[in-house]
Amino acid sequence: MSLSPGFGVQYLVWLTPWIVSLGLGATGIFFLTSGLFLFLVYN
C-alpha cells in the first residue's frame, strides 16, 4: 500500500479485526475517524 500511487478507502476494512481486539475505546475512535474520513472523501 505504501508503494501505490493512491489510497483506496476499501483498505480501511483490513484494520477492523485488529482494532476490535484492542477494546471498545479504540474501536469507537477508529469507527468515528474512519467514518468521518469516508464522509469527507465521498461528500
pLDDT, tens only, 1-43: 566 666 778 888 888 888 889 999 999 999 999 999 889 888 8
Domain-located, residue 16: yes
Look-up of cell digits 476490535 = 20
Number of domains in the chain: 1
Domain-located, residue 3: no
Look at the chain and count its residues. Answer: 43
Domain-located, residue 1: no
**Domain containing residue 30:** 9-42
pLDDT at position 36 is 94
**pTM of the entire structure?**
0.71
First to last CA, the chain: 24
